[in-house]
Amino acid sequence: MSQAFQNIYHQSLADPAGYWEELAGNICWTKPWDQVLDDSQAPFYRWFSGGETNTCWNAIDRHVDDGRGDQLALIWESPITGARRTLTYRELKREVATFAGVLSNHAVTRGDRVVIYMPAVPEAVVAMLACARIGAVHSVVFGGFAAAEVAKRLDDATPKAILTATCGVEPGRIIPYLPILEEAFTLASHVPGTMIVLAREQQSAQLKTGRDHDWHEEMARATPVDWVPVAATDPLYILYTSGTTGKPKGVVRDNGGHAVALMWTMKAVYDVAPGEPWWAASDIGWVVGHSYIVYAPLLHGNPTILFEGKPVGTPDAGVFWRVIEENDVAALFTAPTAIRAIRRDDPEGDFLAAADLSQFRTLFLAGERADPDTIAWAEEKLSRPVVDHWWQTETGWAMAAYCRGIDDLPIRHGSPGRPTPGYAIDILDARGHRLPSDTTGAVCVRLPLPPSSLPTLWNNDEGFVSSYLEEYPGYYSTGDAGMYDSDGYLYIMGRTDDVMNVAGHRLSTGAMEEVLATLPDVAECAVIGAADELRGQVPVGLLVLKATSTTPHDEIVGDAVRRVRNDVGAVANFRKAVIVPRLPKTRSGKILRRSMRQIADGEAVPMPATIEDPATLDEIRDALATIGYPAGN
């Protein structure tokens, strides 16, 4: 860690108001704040109280006004449909201002909520920014979400309008959106009176007179509108994340602190300069899409890529490298599961070797734990830094990272680095006591959280406190388990419920997954803690093999058991592993370990709302049955 970074980090904790006030000068304000950090209603902290700004103004108009209107702002790459489109800042401003006029024509005003249920198309980005332009609060729901989940969000956000498309496009299938929404409307108590529909050539639809309106027809009759000032503490958006009770938690993001923090991260964390093309390979339905497809790069002046496709299968495992090459991408941010999928289909990196990546500098990973073996493979094939970092929907940006723009911290495989400025992270035991290095515990952040972190949940202050603040008073509980090593590197070992108790020994599933990932035939893996009458829990490994694997399965399983017992120890009691065709995942790429554990324990498995392919749960159920799970079957 450089001395300069240490000084920055310590200042951010010793004087958070002074630190973030200086950075607030990087964005434009219509009215200065009365108070940088308002703690009068703690633990509901607010940033830049009394200030006024507008996120859309800062993300688009400001660049046009500064003479950069002809610079690329948005690049749409859709290998799944064969389409591509680009928009300069001036062109994006025109579309956003016009669609803001569409919303205004339908009586959407400051503070109204608008649900956006759309695929990864440019109009979805336009819709988000148009809401921000007039002070409306957008809530993006991942396109293709099940009707029951959409209904819950409609009832919680009570939107005035819903914006959608006729369909989403997945490999080998079309997902019509309007039938899902019609079913959601029958389940919801609140049904918006206006729905604006983007017609896609892959799917036609019959619009309902009075309620439904054609996107392009609405644009043709609308007049562009200007941005309006909003309070820094006004909500910019609501993004729902699943709650343990089944009630979705509406994470609120404000305008002022959000813009200040995200603007800063593009240089400080990712080390990209304004004008350099940037790509976050995610979907706007997830927090990565909100923060790093839409808001942060546009605020900072980086051409941002919106990608409608998959890392493999659209059409092959080389699509990421071709997009990077064709757009001179400086840095890519994606999930480890995407790299594992590419490695599985192209283990020798032939597609990568064929691409010209001369402008490409850094691969960033986040969204789930990045195993060292995946990082090492990517480093070898790319000959470039592969940088892990760690954050959550609730924080909106990295809590721990290798801050490439302000620090020279050497990368250590398995660790997302050290806490970023503004985040004071402790490892706590069950009674809230700080734990020494090399000891796994609950990862918690001292309050107050820095700008852009959630100030509360939508219409649910009580849920905010009980979900995040109650267990460890004075802290935000991340729900993750981890530890520091003796050099101060943070390690995130998984969710706290992924720490097993084997005969009284607390063991991390992540540590075992690290070992399994080194097996030459294994493309990706997961370890779950299955119930055991004698020991409480025992680990079970699930292994997905590389496409090129020819080793007999029993040899792979035997090698897996030996390696875990050798590297983790006999105390792990790792005795069983099974080959599976694939792992069940969310659409954002996170492995559904809890669902697999429920299958192993013979429990009812609620269908996760975010699951990419429900058939994967049946595949896991069949595979676990071959090794005796659930017990007694």
Q: Look at the block and give the residue holding tokens 């990295």.
A: 398
Average pLDDT of the segment spanning 513-522 = 90
The torsion angles phi and psi of 204, rounded to 5 degrees, stand at -90, 165
| Number of other residues whose CB lies within 10 A of the CB of residue 90 | 16
Residue 516: closest CA among 507, 525, 508, 528: 525
The pLDDT mean for the chain works out to 93
Residue 510 is predicted with a pLDDT of 75
pLDDT average, residue stretch 382-399: 96
Cβ-based burial of 247 (10 A; exposed 0-12, middle 13-18, buried ≥19): middle
Distance CA 3, CA 25 (A): 24
Q: How confident is the model at residue 368 (pLDDT cuts 50, 70, 90)?
A: confident
In the three-class reduction of DSSP (H, G, I as helix; E, B as strand; rest coil), residue 7 is classed as helix
- Specify the CATH number for 503-625; select among 3.30.365.10, 3.30.300.30, 3.90.1150.10, 3.40.50.300: 3.30.300.30
Q: What is the CATH number of domain 3-309+389-482?
A: 3.40.50.12780
3-class SS string, 429-484: CCCCCECCCCCCEEEEEECCCCCCCCCCECCCHHHHHHHHHCCCCCEEEEEEEEEE
3-class SS at 542? Answer: strand
Q: What is the pLDDT of residue 447?
A: 98
Tell whether the model's pLDDT for residue 419 goes beyond 50: yes
- pLDDT surpasses 50 at 278: yes
Task: State percent of the chain over pLDDT 90.
Answer: 78
Burial of 432 from C-beta contacts in 10 A (0-12 / 13-18 / 19+): middle
pLDDT digits (tens, 9 = 90+) for 468-501: 999 999 999 998 989 999 999 999 987 665 666 6
- Say if residue 62's pLDDT is above 90: yes
Q: At residue 607, does pLDDT exceed 90?
A: no
Kindly state the tokens that stand for 616: 């994967």
Q: According to the model, what pLDDT value does residue 611 have? A: 83
Q: Give, rounded to a whole angstrom, the gap between the first and last alpha carbons of the chain.
A: 53
How much is the pLDDT for 499? 61
Domain boundaries, the chain: 3-309+389-482, 503-625
Q: What pLDDT score does 244 carry?
A: 46
Read off the tokens for 571.
């105390």
Instruction: Supply the DSSP string of 550-611, one letter for each residue.
Output: -S-HHHHHHHHHHHHHHHT-GGG---EEEE-S---BBTTS-B-HHHHHHHHTT------TTB
Q: Is 350 exposed, middle or buried (0-12, 13-18, 19+ CB in 10 A)?
A: exposed
Would you say residue 449 has pLDDT above 90?
Answer: yes
Cα distances from 556 to residues 387, 490, 519, 521, in angstroms, run: 30, 31, 8, 7
pLDDT in tens, 240-256: 986 544 567 999 999 99
444 forms beta bridges with 426, 477
Report d(CA 15, CA 456) in Å as an integer: 23
pLDDT at 296: 98
- Segments of 19-154 assigned E as strands: 35-38, 46-49, 52-53, 72-78, 83-88, 113-117, 137-140
Q: What is the pLDDT of residue 245?
A: 47
pLDDT value at residue 246? 55
Contact 326, 274 (CB under 8 A): no
